Chain A
Amino acid sequence: MSATALSPATAHYREAFERLRPQLGGTASRRVAAMERFAELGFPGAREEAWKYTSLRRLESRRFVPAAPATTPVDVPAAFVAQRLALVNGSPVGVVPASLGGFALGTLDTAPEDQLLRALGGGGTERFAALNAALSIGPLLLSTTAGQQSDDVLQLTLVTTGTGPTLASPRIAVRMAAGSRARLLIDHVDDGAHEHFTNAVLDIELAAGAHLTLYRLQRQGERAFHIERMEVRVGEHATFVMRDSQLGAALARLDTNVSLDGRAAATEITGVFLADGSRHLDSHIHVGHRAIETTSLQDYRGIAANKGRGVYNGKAIVHEGAQKSNARQVNRNLLLTSGAEIDTKPDLEIYADDVQCSHGTTTGQLDPNALFYLRSRGLSEPEARSALTRAFAGAVLARVDEPALARHVHDELDRRLVRLLEVTA
């Protein structure tokens, strides 16, 4: 592809990549191939189905500077759990401990094979996964050994920071060995000082009988752009659980792709998002049932207010031969004020005959009878609205079984709801 055919934004990242390349580790040819893939795909056009409700025009108009390897630690918010590692623009600073919170830690340099730069094909965020593969620094590898059981939680705080608008490309691989059990908390933050762009990739693999719970908190600043791609492969009798809280950034898009590859593989993906202010939050979840007796549950609750916009696209595909599978999808949305909008598209494709599938989606406002009941007891309108909104989110938040994190999300919802409801009441 000739450089002249590239859009200005794409050309910008390719040039920046050339400049940065000497500082990046890994296999140079793979990075170059990844960059070429990004250049080929470019930014999504207005017609692209996967970006129907989310425009990247603003993101494309910016020229973020890809981060170089970080050398100095930065301030990060207090940890929710005892064991925490902070990554600055995707790279660990200083010596990485050999193990922490139930995982063995490695980087690309020490990883047995260069498996992290595997191209992640398909979907609307493939281009960004490729950009990440080209630019990610010191990708982190978390692994367990067969049968290892841990009740600890490892928290990764991913902070995006820079002296100007910065592109951070965190890349994390998780390899759960057969029969192992672990918990991981990923907390996305930024310095709030500039408009930053975080382009993250998570690549997760669970071998037979493994169990991973992933808590995710996206609480980046009001001006942040956040795009994230999560690829999860789940083996026989293995279980992947995600508890997502999408609260921050100006524009965020998360693609979670879960492939249930082995017999009786299971996943449970629950989450809540709060699109207040002029926030735009887009979650795409794609679960592929590829083996018999696989089960999936998706339960997302969205709240939008002011000029906030939410997008939820949940898809489950039961492939041929995935008999006796069970796929459930629930998506409930709440519009708190009249300017807000949530676009939802539950989607079920079934190519097997002996399966159980269900999906349900609702979008509505707070129940006026409940509101009056609470006010007739003396609660102010903002209090009553926030109590009902918390109750709405609470059904999903109750599953966040890590107390400090759950408390944070509850408090954050409270704080933001009371503030916004007082303004609009």
Chain B
Amino acid sequence: MLSIRDLHAQIGVRKILKGVNLEVKPGEVHAIMGPNGSGKSTLASVLAGRAGYDVTKGTAHYLGDDLLALEPEERARRGVFLAFQYPVEIPGVNNAYLLKAALNAVRKRRGLPELDAFEFLALIKGKMKLMQMDESFLSRGVNEGFSGGEKKRNEILQMAVLEPRLALLDETDSGLDIDALRVVATGVNSLRSPERAIVMVTHYQRLLDYIEPDFVHVLSDGRILRTGDKSLALELEKRGYDWVKQEASAA
């Protein structure tokens, strides 16, 4: 589904990704862990199409197509979803408007008819219940005045509504208390399916107790240094990242 080969990316002259390789197949859940500043968000941003990055080398293919050649909205319509580490507050743009416009854009691309206001509301209500969000959120500005936890839940709500093929979750767990974490995990798990892949960036083993990954990768200084199963996450929790770096440089 997603195939990243030797990906190099930089901002200005600052090199951030220095040869990332990653294969993600449908149905899989991947966790990317790594120290602060190692390039996790950069990887997610480059995959989602944020401007400002120069890809100097390497490729990323999604469902066989050159992902990096597509506009961000086209990636979204084809089923790529990024849950932002820092969701943006957009006062004056209504949450319901965004959800509906986004859903209809995706449906149009899939050859499905647009939903009218009534059908949309019916669909949204169920998803909001799942995310334990009050319906009053719909009439507010996008993320406007939301608490940290509410923003993260809103990201997962959007994901649940859009039903992406490939979900990239950037630190969706950070800043959540244990109850909110459970809600978010429930939302993510509700989307697990054989056709869908999930790549989640996280610092903590904690999230992986709720969303069990098939693979755990360690990204450090712009490279994936080690890949393992979920036991690797436990080991990282105990021992930190330094031993991974040392073993990698010794090799």
Residues of A within 8 A of B (CB): 367-370, 372-381, 383-384, 387-388, 390-392, 394-395
Going nearest first, the 10 A-B pairs with the smallest beta carbon separation are A391-B92, A378-B105, A377-B102, A378-B76, A373-B88, A375-B72, A375-B73, A378-B102, A394-B92, A391-B93
Determine whether B84 belongs to the interface, using a CB cutoff of 8 Å to chain A. yes
Given contacts A391-B90, A395-B92, contact A378 B82 (CB under 8 A): no
Contact A391 B88 (CB under 8 A): no
Given contacts A374-B98, A378-B73, contact A387 B93 (CB under 8 A): yes
Distance of A94 from chain B, by nearest CB (Å): 44
Q: Kindly list chain B residues whose C-beta atoms are within 8 Å of the C-beta of A370.
A: 88, 90, 93
- Interchain CB contact (< 8 A) of A376 among B49, B109, B141: B49
Give the size range of B's interface with the partner: 20 to 34
Q: Kindly list chain B residues whose C-beta atoms are within 8 Å of the C-beta of A387.
A: 93, 97-98, 101
Contact B90 A374 (CB under 8 A): yes
Contact A381 B73 (CB under 8 A): yes
Contact B90 A372 (CB under 8 A): no
Determine whether B158 belongs to the interface, using a CB cutoff of 8 Å to chain A. yes
Distance of A381 from chain B, by nearest CB (Å): 7
A110, B6: Cα distance in complex, Å: 86
Interface centre among A376, A378, A381, A391 (most CB of B within 10 A): A378
A384, B105: Cα distance in complex, Å: 12
Q: Kindly list chain B residues whose C-beta atoms are within 8 Å of the C-beta of A374.
A: 90, 93, 98
Distance of B213 from chain A, by nearest CB (Å): 23
Q: Kindly list chain A residues whose C-beta atoms are within 8 Å of the C-beta of B48.
A: 376
A373, B73: Cα distance in complex, Å: 10
Determine whether B19 belongs to the interface, using a CB cutoff of 8 Å to chain A. no
Distance of A2 from chain B, by nearest CB (Å): 58
Contact B90 A379 (CB under 8 A): no
**What are some 29 contacts across the A-B interface (CB < 8 A)?**
A367-B88, A372-B51, A372-B88, A373-B88, A374-B98, A375-B71, A375-B72, A375-B76, A376-B50, A376-B72, A376-B75, A377-B73, A377-B98, A377-B101, A378-B76, A378-B77, A379-B73, A379-B98, A379-B105, A380-B73, A381-B71, A387-B93, A387-B97, A390-B93, A391-B90, A391-B91, A391-B92, A391-B93, A394-B92
Q: Kindly list chain B residues whose C-beta atoms are within 8 Å of the C-beta of A372.
A: 49-51, 72, 88
Chain B, residues 45-57, CB within 8 Å of chain A (1/0): the string is 0001111000000
